[in-house]
Structure 1
Amino acid sequence: MTRAVRFDQYGDVDVLRIENVERPRPAADQILVEVVAAGINPGEISIRSGLLHDRWPARFPSGQGSDFAGRVVEVGASVTEFAVDDEVLGWSDWRSSHADYVLVPADHLTRKPLALDWIRAGGLFVAGVTAYASVRAVQPVAGETVVVSGAAGGVGSIAVQLARNAGAHVVGIASEGNAAWLRSVGATPVAYGDDLGERLRKVLPSRIDAFIDTYGNGYVDLAVELGVDPARINTIIDYAAAQRAGAKAEGSSTASDAEVLAFVAEEIAWGRIVLPIAAIYPLEAVQEAYTELAARHTRGKIVLATELPANAGRQPAA
């Protein structure tokens, strides 16, 4: 028997449990991966609580989790792309990565770069491809100014650096506690809060060319007020505002591709992008991990691990 996170009804973190299940067996076109690390994401909170029932209804008992990294332990008869013992990262479309083992098709995997550690690899998929889709949606070029809300979160921290690597001047909206980190990755920090629009105008006396919203809570409307062309505003969360304003709402579903994931993994592996890790929790501490994530003050990613590194636990923000 192996472990998997399950819940039987919509609710808060207390509906989550660790259940003993039979080890999955791959069909002909599937690959069985032993999970080493798996990221957690805000969208999973909304699914578990029922807020996204109309968009992504849960079937009970439901598993949880998309991101993962691990080792191939079994391949289906028709699989030729991967072999046993390959180190991989990827994603599940079936809410099943928060477990000891996960089944996926070959096109949901890419090989883990040797220079990329397990923890960042395991927490990369949703944040990485969503950030990629967001930056691609607004198409920054050298010399332009891009504003990113939620700039120190999992998606925002990567989006800031992808836009910077495209040559843009990036302004990151985050808490004051994240200002030094944003400067360290080449962004200009601006603290969220009262009079944000006015403070942005002072920092950026010229125009804002593009706006990436990873937080919601009125940022699409703010971008419009600041004169940003709606065609160059992208939100990953405020779909109603995007529709109202004529802005974009491109996220993980538009970039869920092994080649995109491989590109972002290589960028992180070789230091062209930094992915901060806020905390590492053992699988059985899944409730505590989501409690921390729900506070919405995480810098980078929170990751569940089945093989705990020596520095596991609550990490200093970095």
Structure 2
Amino acid sequence: MRAAVVTRFGGPEVIEVREWPEPVAGAGEVVVDVEVTDVIWVETAIRQGNLGGYFDVSPPYVPGSSLGGRVHSVGAGVDEEWIGKTVVGRIAGFGAHAERVAVPADSLVELPAQLGVEAAVAVLNDGLTTLMLERSAPGLAGKKVLITAAAGGMGLLLIQLAHKAGAHVVAAARGQAKLDLAKAQGADVAVDYTTPAWEKSVLEATKGIDVVLDGAGGAYGTAAFDTVKDGGWFSAHGTPGGGFAAYDEAEAKRRGITVRGIMDVQADGGPVSNSDVITRALAGDLVPVIDRVFALDRLGDAHRAIEDRALLGKALLRIR
């Protein structure tokens, strides 16, 4: 079968479509004929070799984690009624950017007819973290909420949830097209965080933020921390800006600001399942914005688009 393979650590050019061993369903697994997978920022950082401390992977490897497709075969202990069903799910580690993938059956969700496979795959990865953040954060009704990396796949979902919860939503992103998209999804205020002292304009407009959902990290996240009110809440869960947001722990303690990192969010958010995400998508609470769908042999282009901050919403990869 064909798969997109990271042949060595480096730029997008290290990704090649190669023949790869066919998977065999083990006990409790099914093999899925993959139709669509998603592409997320962290995969570009892993490909560069920058996240060895977090992900135990070395080339050659097949990236990708979330997928949708049709069940091809089942392993021991799995009901044969799964065969032929259209499903979505996530695999532990990597390997989704391939024509077939072995997946634990209990991690899969049969796709309802009302939800297309592209929409389901687009919402799955980001939706899990979004729902964890929803559970972890204090109640958002009536609160002033700042969302950074607001025009990315997860940022847009967070805008939707915060808006529906009754928050005053401030979106921070890069460029007018992304600001317009954030406002279309429910942001009340949109700020370009590539402009100097952007955080001061947020403070002037809001008199202080109650909750920050920082998906950008780096200097953007550090500036976002400076907008938080005394007694506020700050989630540092994103790294595209160059690592998780740095902040002064002593100042956070002195001002009574609760800070949560990505591991804290996963713990505080409790168990959130793939099924929970699909249920909320069907209810209209999570509506993914898909910008571009790339062919399997254009995965390198998808990585470039993410690294260049050229996407408005999600990138997907169509396998077949």
Under TM normalisation by the shorter chain, which class is it?
Answer: 0.7 to 0.9
Deviation at 1:259, TM superposition (A): 5.2
C-alpha separation in 1, matches of 2:109 and 2:159 = 24
Once the two structures are superposed, residues 213-267 of structure 1 have per-residue CA deviations (whole angstroms, 9 ceiling, x without a partner) of 1111223322332234587211222436268567211269928999533233233
Deviates more, 1:86-95 or 1:236-245: 236-245
Q: Is the Cα contact below 8 Å between 1:126 and 1:252 reproduced in 2?
A: no
C-alpha separation in 2, matches of 1:87 and 1:17 = 28
C-alpha separation in 1, matches of 2:39 and 2:220 = 24
Corresponding residue number in structure 2 for 1:51: 50
C-alpha separation in 2, matches of 1:108 and 1:230 = 38
Deviation at 1:35, TM superposition (A): 0.7
| Unaligned 5+ runs, structure 2 | 253-257
> What letter is aligned with 2:296?
L
Corresponding residue number in structure 2 for 1:248: 260
Deviates more, 1:177-186 or 1:279-288: 177-186
> What letter is aligned with 1:108?
S
C-alpha separation in 2, matches of 1:229 and 1:92 = 40
Task: Give RMSD over aligned pairs.
Answer: 2.6
Structure 1 residues 291 and 223: CA distance shift in structure 2, 3 A? closer
Percentage identity across paired residues of the two chains = 27
Matched, 1:108 2:107: yes
Q: Is the Cα contact below 8 Å between 2:37 and 2:97 reproduced in 1?
A: yes
Structure 1 residues 85 and 258: CA distance shift in structure 2, 3 A? farther
Structure 1 residues 146 and 181: CA distance shift in structure 2, 3 A? same
Corresponding residue number in structure 2 for 1:19: 18
Corresponding residue number in structure 2 for 1:143: 142
- Alignment equivalent of 2:199, drawn from 197, 200, 203: 197
Matched, 1:216 2:234: no
> What letter is aligned with 1:216?
G
Structure 1 residues 230 and 128: CA distance shift in structure 2, 3 A? farther
C-alpha separation in 2, matches of 1:225 and 1:253 = 21
Structure 1 residues 229 and 90: CA distance shift in structure 2, 3 A? farther
Once the two structures are superposed, residues 130-161 of structure 1 have per-residue CA deviations (whole angstroms, 9 ceiling, x without a partner) of 22223333233311111100111011111111
C-alpha separation in 1, matches of 2:176 and 2:264 = 28
Trace 1:39-78 onto structure 2 (pairs within 5 A). 39-78=38-77
> What letter is aligned with 2:236?
T
Corresponding residue number in structure 2 for 1:310: none
- Alignment equivalent of 1:283, drawn from 296, 300, 311: 296
- Alignment equivalent of 1:297, drawn from 310, 313, 317: 310
Corresponding residue number in structure 2 for 1:306: 319
Structure 1 residues 252 and 22: CA distance shift in structure 2, 3 A? farther
Q: Is the Cα contact below 8 Å between 2:23 and 2:100 reproduced in 1?
A: yes
Deviates more, 1:214-223 or 1:277-286: 214-223
C-alpha separation in 1, matches of 2:248 and 2:77 = 43
Corresponding residue number in structure 1 for 2:287: 274
SS at match of 1:58: coil
Q: Is the Cα contact below 8 Å between 1:129 and 1:261 reproduced in 2?
A: yes
Deviates more, 1:263-272 or 1:194-203: 263-272
Q: Is the Cα contact below 8 Å between 1:68 and 1:89 reproduced in 2?
A: yes
Q: List, as ranges, runs of 4+ consecutive aligned residues in structure 1 with deviation greater than 6 Å.
A: 255-258
SS at match of 1:90: strand
Q: Give the TM-score normalised by the residue count of structure 1.
A: 0.87
Q: Is the Cα contact below 8 Å between 1:242 and 1:249 reproduced in 2?
A: no
Once the two structures are superposed, residues 56-111 of structure 1 have per-residue CA deviations (whole angstroms, 9 ceiling, x without a partner) of 13233211001111111111121249611121111111310001111111232112
Q: Is the Cα contact below 8 Å between 1:37 and 1:304 reproduced in 2?
A: yes
| Unaligned 5+ runs, structure 1 | 308-318
SS at match of 1:88: strand
> What letter is aligned with 1:145?
K
Corresponding residue number in structure 1 for 2:177: 177
Q: Is the Cα contact below 8 Å between 1:40 and 1:65 reproduced in 2?
A: yes
SS at match of 1:26: coil
Once the two structures are superposed, residues 274-314 of structure 1 have per-residue CA deviations (whole angstroms, 9 ceiling, x without a partner) of 2111101111111111111111232211000023xxxxxxx
SS at match of 2:162: helix
Deviates more, 1:146-155 or 1:166-175: 166-175
Q: Give the TM-score normalised by the residue count of structure 2.
A: 0.86
Corresponding residue number in structure 2 for 1:314: none
SS at match of 2:259: coil
